[in-house]
Structure 1
Amino acid sequence: MREVPAMSSLFDAMRAASRHDQTPPWDVRADRLRRLRRLVQANHDAIAAAISADFTNRPHQETALLEVFPSVAGIDDALRHGKRWMRVRRASTGLWFKPGRSRLMPQPLGVVGIVVPWNYPLYLTIGPLTGALAAGNRAMVKLSEYTPRFSALFAQLVQAAFAPDEVAVINGDAEVAAAFSTLPFDHLLFTGSTNVGHHVMRAAAANLTPVTLELGGKSPAIIGPHADFERAVERILVGKLLNAGQTCIAPDYVLVQADQRDRFAEAARRCASRLYPDIARNPDYTSIISPRHFDRLVSMIAAATAAGAHAVPLTDATPDAAARRLPPVLLTDVPDNVMAMQEEIFGPVLPVVTYRSIEDAIGFVNARPRPLALYVFDKSGDVVDRVMRQTVAGGVTVNDTLFHIAQDDLPFGGVGPSGMGVYHGKAGFETFSKLKPIFHQAGLNGAGLLKPPYGKRFESMLKLLLR
């Protein structure tokens, strides 16, 4: 725990710097964003290699597609629009208070804390960091102990690119992470499991630190009655098997019509073979991050089958504990009380649930905690609109999976147990800003009529206001 006192001192220095330079101009913010962009662009090969080593194997192409590309795109979006976002905004003024005028002034909060998970360590660092820097804040980042090579590399890169009172990286175990959450940040963003999110929120509450929690949950994919079935299966499998299912918005279970279940299983097996031929040795298939996570997934499958579910392997490969490779598996006839239907799976295991009508599918989703993501496949606009109106989710992609997270103009965040608060693009800028409300009183105004002593003139004015 030697890092904790140093962490506190680092925070104190960063906070003092933020109070001294309360509202940095756009050129300072843009310079920080450009340095962050160069850090990613110039080192993406080394970053991909470090992440792959942390996973034992993750293809560089996936890191480039899922982490480097959206990180750079998000920074570019902030560089294009950030100067406009930080302008003072006009706000309407009540009729009785004119000719006074109202404004909203975006100001940095100060020091932002960012807690990063292991599954997408680059993107889930750069995404919130971009919003924090565009809004004019300083930031401290706690990286995951499950990605030690990436965490060490990223700390070195940040140290070379930023002053310690601009951006700082903290590395360490869960004890360090717990201490990090107790610092009196001006805002704390945590990405991770719902269980840990409870602890983070309790720690932040001691300082009344506002939090953004990006959690998880069981994100459903609904294949509607008019869907392009084969395409739906492929897009669900792609979204599920990228990063071997270790994605917070991966489809966590599929809802299919009762008479389409076997068809789904057959199509999924064909699709998995096309995506990952010879999966046991395929370099495109990612390993599970740690032995503990691998064992949890194997136990999840075993518990489901022991309770009466059927495991349907999508390939002929078998689990490889040494390489932490878990071939994709469907689960059918899954009892609702088993772990696979109660907890976020976070791996290449996909329960298949049947329904008789689209209303039944909607009811199934609504009977469970609100998900971080929802996917619906159907050619009928009426069916899609019905699902949209009657369900609540953190975000939605229609006729595909995952892509809503890559839209910089769409806020990203959960709802209920899947999280609170949003970021990305302008939404991230505003999350990490205080939109200060300002009322300017006019030289000639009627405020003098509304003061004691309360006589007849006051009563007449009050009648006008309340009519």
Structure 2
Amino acid sequence: MTAIETLSTHDTDHAQLHTILHAQQAAFRAAPMPSLEQRLQALKALKGALLKNKQALCEALSRDYGRRSHQDTLIADILPCVAQLNYTRKHLKKWMKPSRRHSGLMLVPAKVEVIYQPLGVVGIIVPWNFPVMLSLGPLITALAAGNRAMIKLSEFTPATNQVLRKMLADLFTPEEVAVIEGEADVAAAFSALPFDHLLFTGSTQVGRHVMRAAADNLTPVTLELGGKSPALIAPDMPIPLAVERLIYGKSLNAGQICVAPDYVLVPEDKRDEFVAEYQQQFQAMYPKGVASEDYTSVVNARQYERLTRWLAEAEQQGATVLPCHPDARDDQGHRMITHLVLETRDNMQLMQEEIFGPLLPVIPYSDLETTLATLRRQPRPLAMYLMSFDTALQQQVKTTTHAGGMCINDTVFHVAADDAPFGGIGASGMGHYHGKEGFLTFSKAKTVLSRGKFSTGKLITPPYGGWLQKLMLAFFLR
């Protein structure tokens, strides 16, 4: 194993990060524009390796979590990557094609086009909640755009990292794709490297540190953060249907999703109906509570302790906590089913911070317009969910509230739209990837003006004041 192949969890020599980066930069300079065929071949190979390793990845993620539903991994980690690979391979030729632009009368005769060049070396910082999708997803886009990549995996998913590292090492040289592991100090050093672009997925708090470190190198960043994504149930929406549409988005991966519904706003006269319906539907999905094979654990003891601490704090301040199943917690196995939290206060920790787990505050409201005004004053979340069939209300919420993305009468599935950008706004992030927008994020759109033997540029050079220049200025300054 050479010095540039990988950093193990125990090897935190920051100098190696620069060695890997310099090797990739040199390789990029030697081959700065991979062909369409080369890119397609890389994507094809990656798809084959992913399908070959899907069972190993499911088992590894379950080991990392203590228990993680294989179905959760297949649906939320493996399937999105396969779909993205298929979509990208189908459209890449069109994306790479230079686009013709109008030169305008003032520049005639000239040809203007925009070409899409790879940026160079892309850094990808991966969180623990979906380590396959959130490492390979950005990698797919980076490779499609012709870049090389360094991937910093989370220290909280060591078994999954081992599978990913071997899979990628079998496909790519270290000068093409390099996998980095290590603790927080390695992540900090990684974010301070002079990448050509840096993509970070994680918390808003850490995102600020990443952007600050990148600023020293003027490294452009794409930040996929999170925030408190609301689910608003309008008065016209039947409660059973509303619960059906949002419960999966909160149950998948035990709510450890950046776009999971963080809290629910429900008409005050329907709050109790919502609680009863949610508990009933949850028990139908997970009849054994925390013992259900289909239910995923909280990732580790640290995150579990955070959630239980927030619950205890809320109860001490007067909140009512209602588990959705009698078998609600397994402290030793850090497993917790969804807990509905009523009578919350704004100063509670779970109302201040993104929950990122199986806690769901249920907040009644009496006036819809007041509620919408309150939402507009909040930090802009990564997702907004509206449950309503009122088309006028749908249009109002779509156009007057801000969020990274939105679902109407559903949750989380907008992330799976291959032909649409994904990204936050404000405190929930900046920039986009997925689909064509991802290709553009990891490319330099360079304008190229070409002239032949004749150029009108000579007509405007000094000495100034000739009759032809005066005529031209009079014409264009109308």
Q: TM class, shorter-chain normalised? A: over 0.9
Within 2, Cα distance between the matches of 1:357 and 1:96? 57
- Give the aligned residue type for 1:309: A
Match of 1:161 in 2: 171
Match of 1:321 in 2: 331
Within 1, Cα distance between the matches of 2:244 and 2:133? 25
Residues 142-180 of structure 1, C-alpha deviations (whole Å, 9 max, x = no match): 000000110122111111111111111111111111111
Match of 1:344 in 2: 354
- Give the aligned residue type for 1:311: V
Does 2:61 match 1:51?
Answer: yes
**Partners of 1:152 and 1:171 within 8 A in 2:** no
Within 1, Cα distance between the matches of 2:285 and 2:331? 22
- Give the aligned residue type for 1:337: N
Match of 1:138 in 2: 148
Which of 369, 385, 391 is the equivalent residue of 1:381?
A: 391
Within 1, Cα distance between the matches of 2:381 and 2:330? 31
Q: Could you tell me the TM-score, scaled by structure 1's length?
A: 0.98
Residues 1-20 of structure 1, C-alpha deviations (whole Å, 9 max, x = no match): 54422221111111100111
Q: Post-superposition shift, 1:101? A: 2.1
Match of 1:446 in 2: 456
Within 2, Cα distance between the matches of 1:99 and 1:309? 72
Within 2, Cα distance between the matches of 1:403 and 1:98? 48
Moved more, 409-418 or 230-239: 230-239
**Partners of 1:218 and 1:371 within 8 A in 2:** yes
Match of 1:465 in 2: 476
SS at match of 1:345: coil
- Give the aligned residue type for 1:77: Y
Moved more, 449-458 or 377-386: 449-458
- Give the aligned residue type for 1:30: L
Within 1, Cα distance between the matches of 2:250 and 2:12? 40
Q: Could you tell me the TM-score, scaled by structure 2's length?
A: 0.96
Which of 59, 70, 94 is the equivalent residue of 1:60?
A: 70
Does 2:256 match 1:249?
Answer: no
Q: Post-superposition shift, 1:351? A: 0.7
Which blocks of at least 5 consecutive residues in structure 2 are unaligned? 1-10
Map 1:379-458 to 2 at 5 A: 379-457=389-467, 458=469
Residues 60-92 of structure 1, C-alpha deviations (whole Å, 9 max, x = no match): 111011111111000111110111100111112
Does 2:194 match 1:194?
Answer: no
Which of 86, 95, 102 is the equivalent residue of 2:112?
A: 102
Which of 74, 82, 96 is the equivalent residue of 1:86?
A: 96
- Give the aligned residue type for 1:170: I
Within 1, Cα distance between the matches of 2:411 and 2:95? 30
Which of 25, 33, 37 is the equivalent residue of 1:15?
A: 25
Within 2, Cα distance between the matches of 1:11 and 1:96? 44
Match of 1:179 in 2: 189
Match of 2:15 in 1: 5
Residues 100-126 of structure 1, C-alpha deviations (whole Å, 9 max, x = no match): 121100000000000000000000011
Sequence identity, in percent?
46
Within 2, Cα distance between the matches of 1:184 and 1:438? 26
SS at match of 2:330: coil
Does 2:180 match 1:203?
Answer: no
Match of 1:25 in 2: 35
Match of 1:170 in 2: 180
Aligned residues: 467
**Partners of 2:289 and 2:328 within 8 A in 1:** no
Within 1, Cα distance between the matches of 2:135 and 2:372? 34
Q: Post-superposition shift, 1:237? A: 1.3
Does 2:365 match 1:355?
Answer: yes
SS at match of 1:280: helix
- Give the aligned residue type for 1:71: C
**Partners of 1:142 and 1:177 within 8 A in 2:** yes
Within 2, Cα distance between the matches of 1:93 and 1:160? 47
- Give the aligned residue type for 1:322: Q
Within 2, Cα distance between the matches of 1:53 and 1:413? 30
Match of 2:240 in 1: 230
Within 2, Cα distance between the matches of 1:372 and 1:318? 28
Residues 300-346 of structure 1, C-alpha deviations (whole Å, 9 max, x = no match): 11111222221122111232111111121111121111111110000
Residues 220-250 of structure 1, C-alpha deviations (whole Å, 9 max, x = no match): 1111122232111122111101100000000
SS at match of 2:61: helix
- Give the aligned residue type for 2:298: I
- Give the aligned residue type for 1:96: M
Q: Post-superposition shift, 1:447? A: 2.0
- Give the aligned residue type for 2:15: P
**Partners of 1:228 and 1:379 within 8 A in 2:** no
Match of 1:42 in 2: 52
**Partners of 2:12 and 2:182 within 8 A in 1:** no
Within 1, Cα distance between the matches of 2:239 and 2:375? 20
